[in-house]
């Protein structure tokens, strides 16, 4: 059958979640994805791409039936979060403040994707076409699609979940507002001598933040923001040379490490000028990308999924319902983008008065009680 209610283009974490959600509603769904996630084995190296998964995202994954499988593979709960520039001026958060078992989980992106894909077999109304990708679309009462393989499909609605360089967004004629942060981000998986799996931390520097995200088994993911030239230089080093640079430039909290693998990418902010056009609906990175400062990207994507599924419910999808979806999500996505940009620009300089002011602000923020709790609840999706 080549005629569907919903066609989801992109089967990553957000695309797989939205496909499952619509299948659960009883709709005929097709998912088109270029690469099937690799099967999981316990001795596999950690994925270089990881996300800080919020309580709200866990709830969504539980509703979709995927969390149990993800939990059975590999997750690392964290209970404390610290951020600082000067070591004496820190803002600290802990799960105890909110009477929670943990603040969230650090999970490999591939593991999340795989957990969702494992649920596909539960839904005979969900068709997966993989490997394949979108080549072209024509728009009428329905959307006619041609895939790179030559296969043709039609659907009442198309979901663009195909990432920051979305082909769906481009073909639907949806513009973007974008700018380059003039920084690159390096991800480095390391083995640590210290046991620090219950904390994630971030130190601000004029050249960019340095972060630690805990992984299972005394491993961690380091995030190093710097100029494209510096990141290119670091990427060309041997693991031992890179280790020496990390020990010099990361805070002493890290302790000694062994470099396992690394990768890098440029930082760009994008926001689609519309989320809905020509019977195409954007979710996740297709609609918005964010500075990865707080690891909130995939959480925003899962919020998009939850809002879209909630707005349409079991009803026939209409322009009015989709306008409600965009209203519900655009403001929240803009707020998170603006918040990350504020932190990024505020700390990306070495001007003495500003340095004094921002360090004082971090120290004061640690003592604000209810305000600090409210900020934490918002970040965790508990508001």
Residues 205-238 have pLDDT tens digits of 888 889 999 999 899 999 999 999 999 999 999 9
Question: pLDDT-derived band of residue 353, with 50, 70 and 90 as boundaries?
Answer: very low
| CA–CA distance, 212 with 189 (Å, rounded to integer) | 10
Q: What is the pLDDT of residue 155?
A: 98
Closest residue by Cα to residue 67 from 13, 7, 133: 13
**How many other CB atoms sit within 10 Å of the CB of residue 379?**
23
Helix ranges, 174-280 (H): 228-235, 239-249
Question: What was the pLDDT predicted at 339?
Answer: 73
Domain ranges (residues) in the chain: 3-51+109-178+269-344, 181-268
Say which residue the tokens 């659960």 belong to.
Answer: 24
213 and 223 in contact (C-beta within 8 Å)?
yes
Q: What tokens does 274 get?
A: 């519309």
**Cα–Cα distances in angstroms (integers) from residue 380 to residues 173, 350, 365, in the given order:** 34, 31, 18
Number of other CB atoms surrounding residue 192 within 10 Å: 20
d(CA 296, CA 335): 12
Distance of CA 274 to the CA centre of its chain: 20
pTM, two decimals, is 0.90
- C-alpha to C-alpha distance for 289 and 380, rounded to whole angstroms: 19
Tell me whether residue 99 is exposed, middle or buried, using C-beta atoms within 10 angstroms of its C-beta: 0 to 12, 13 to 18, 19 or more: exposed
Dig out the tokens for 374 from the structure: 């409210």
Q: What is the dihedral of CA 256, 261, 262, 263, to 10 degrees?
A: -170
Q: Which tokens go with 50? A: 């990881």
Over 70: is that where the pLDDT of 369 sits? no
User: For residue range 138-197, what is the model confidence (pLDDT) as tens digits?
Assistant: 999 999 999 999 999 999 999 999 999 999 999 999 999 987 777 899 999 999 999 999
CA 36 to chain centre: 19
- Give the position of tokens 């670091």: 234
Confidence of residue 342 (pLDDT cuts 50, 70, 90): low
CA distance 131 to 5: 21
Query: Helix, strand, or coil here: 261?
Result: strand
Q: What is the fold of 181-268?
A: D-Amino Acid Oxidase; Chain A, domain 2 (3.30.9)
- Residue range 3-51+109-178+269-344 forms a domain whose CATH class is alpha beta
Q: Give residue for tokens 């539960």.
A: 122
Contact 181, 344 (CB under 8 A): yes
Q: Which two tokens stand for residue 13?
A: 């974490």
């Amino acid at each position: 059958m080549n005629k569907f209610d919903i066609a989801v283009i992109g089967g990553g974490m957000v695309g797989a979640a939205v496909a499952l959600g619509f299948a659960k509603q009883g709709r005929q769904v097709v998912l088109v994805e270029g690469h099937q996630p690799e099967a999981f084995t316990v001795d596999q190296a950690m994925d270089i791409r990881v996300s800080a998964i919020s309580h709200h995202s866990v709830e969504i994954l539980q509703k979709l039936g995927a969390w149990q499988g993800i939990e059975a593979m590999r997750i690392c709960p964290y209970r404390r979060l610290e951020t600082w520039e000067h070591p004496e001026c820190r803002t600290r958060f802990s799960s105890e403040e909110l009477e929670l078992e943990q603040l969230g989980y650090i999970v490999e992106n591939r593991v999340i994707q795989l957990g969702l894909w494992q649920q596909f077999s539960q839904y005979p109304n969900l068709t997966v076409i993989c490997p394949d990708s979108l080549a072209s679309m024509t728009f009428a009462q329905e959307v006619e699609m041609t895939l790179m393989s030559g296969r043709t499909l039609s659907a009442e609605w198309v979901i663009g979940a195909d990432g920051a360089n979305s082909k769906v967004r481009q073909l639907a004629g949806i513009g973007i507002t974008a700018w380059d942060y003039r920084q690159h981000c390096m991800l480095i998986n390391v083995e640590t001598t210290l046991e620090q799996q219950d904390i994630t931390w971030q130190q601000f520097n004029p050249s960019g933040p340095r972060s630690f995200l805990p992984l299972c088994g005394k491993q961690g993911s380091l995030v190093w923001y710097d100029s494209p030239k510096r990141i290119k230089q670091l990427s060309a080093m041997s693991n031992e040379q890179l280790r020496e640079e990390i020990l010099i430039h990361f805070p002493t909290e890290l302790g000694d490490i062994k470099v396992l693998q690394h990768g890098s990418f440029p930082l760009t902010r994008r926001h689609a000028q519309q989320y809905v056009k020509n019977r195409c609906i954007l979710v996740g990175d297709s609609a918005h990308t964010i500075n990865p400062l707080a690891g909130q990207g995939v959480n925003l994507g899962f919020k998009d999924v939850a809002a879209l599924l909630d707005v349409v419910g079991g009803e026939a999808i209409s322009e009015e319902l989709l306008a409600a979806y965009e209203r519900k999500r655009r403001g929240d996505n803009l707020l998170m983008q603006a918040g990350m940009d504020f932190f990024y620009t505020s700390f990306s300089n070495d001007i003495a008065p500003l340095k004094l002011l921002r360090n004082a602000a971090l120290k004061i923020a640690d003592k604000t009680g209810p305000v600090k709790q409210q900020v934490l609840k918002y970040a965790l999706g508990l508001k």
